[in-house]
Amino acid sequence: MDSNKDRVIGVIGAGTMGTGIAQIASTFEHTVFLYDAYPGQLEKSKTGLESILNRQIEKERMTKAEVSGILSRIHYVDHLTDFKQCEVVFEAIIEDLQAKKDQFSRVEAIVPKNCILATNTSSLSIASISSALKKPSRFLGAHFFNPAPLMKLVEIIPGISTAEATVETTKSLIDNWNKVTVLAKDTPGFIVNRVARPFYGEALRIFEEGIADAPTVDYAMKEIGGFRMGPFELMDLIGNDVNYNVTESVFKEFYYDPRFKPSFAQKRLVEAGRLGKKSGIGFYDYKNPENNPKPNMDEKLGQTIFNRILAMLINEAADAVYMNVASVQDVDMAMKNGVNYPKGLLEWCDTIGAKEVMNTIQDLREFYSEERYRPNPMLRKMAESGIIFSELI
């Protein structure tokens, strides 16, 4: 199969992510079958997409003909039997292993024998899900980021049994949708959700120790680091419940490695229902913003905070390369396109110097005497030898 617009696409799950994937495929002139077991969700998906696209017409970003074409190519169905002609199927249902296994087992019996099956999971094992299939060679992970039509990154994750042709065809298809694809090993968090953990975890540690409050940490990362959002703003936007659950999942999957240890401060916010923007209060008060403290703009403190969080991020990025999760190039592309980091972390390391990053991590290790602050062997070796990451591309 080649990656052309004649390929019929199936999408399982008509929530925000599934609707977004359907929109992308239809925009690139594929016939799309969007399935959900609940007719009410299908209607909600259809109404929501029409509203989003009509706003694009109002803003003169799209024409009426373009919008009409996108909407006409999406078929909302509540029976999987409509997937008989699909050549690629993307699943985007709840993050529950058994639910995904059951869904794929059902759809495999309906789709053509060469149909590629892809899960949008952000944290579950590709190998585990594939065990429900009779032909796991046609199965892999294709992790889109929310909102799927706007976010450029898609992580492609082959499982143990995935055929090379399955990877090549899926990557080619999604590349043709003007996405940035990166290849990741089937390990917890893949690239982005693994490498990004210190952005939140180290910020929370600084907060819990009373070194700085949330506005001060956010100020340091935005004004000194150039990040679009600070970690506490971002946790409130994502939802503290969602962010905490991902951290807890990665922590458990890595056999309780202290590098990924969740925060009691965030856990207590979740328990209290302070989930962030969606509940009106999290680390910040969105109902009464005047109650939020002003950041401490002390430059020395800000630089210390930024250096600490960045060093831990770089250490995690180096570990992803060292453990063959992804290439140097794919790690940096993932962080720039998946979470909008101002620079690739390994590119940043080359600019600062691996020795400087190592000094920061070793100072933390010496002060805390914790395994959390162990430097990655690759980073240590590069600090000693003077080799830079760009030489490994």
The residues annotated as belonging to the active site are 122, 143, 155, 193
Of 112, 124, 113, 116, whose CA–CA distance to 11 is shortest?
116
State in Å, rounded, how far the first CA of the chain is from the last one. 30
Of 17, 13, 9, 190, whose CA–CA distance to 116 is shortest?
9
Laid out side by side, the sheet with 32-35 consists of 74-77, 32-35, 9-12, 88-91, 116-119, 139-144, 153-158, 180-183
Number of residues that make up the chain? 393
* Distance of alpha carbon 280 from alpha carbon 284, whole angstroms: 8
Of 330, 237, 220, 231, whose CA–CA distance to 276 is shortest?
237
* Distance of alpha carbon 186 from alpha carbon 182, whole angstroms: 13
Token couple for 199: 């952005």
Token couple for 235: 């946790």
Of 357, 262, 346, 269, whose CA–CA distance to 309 is shortest?
357
C-beta pairs of 147-152 under 8 Å, 24+ apart in sequence: 147/16, 147/20, 148/17, 148/20, 148/21, 148/23, 148/24, 149/20, 149/23, 149/24, 149/27, 151/337, 151/338, 152/178, 152/179, 152/180, 152/337
CA 253-123-151 angle, 5° bins = 145
What lies within 8 Å, CB to CB, of 185 at 6+ separation is 157, 323, 324, 325, 326
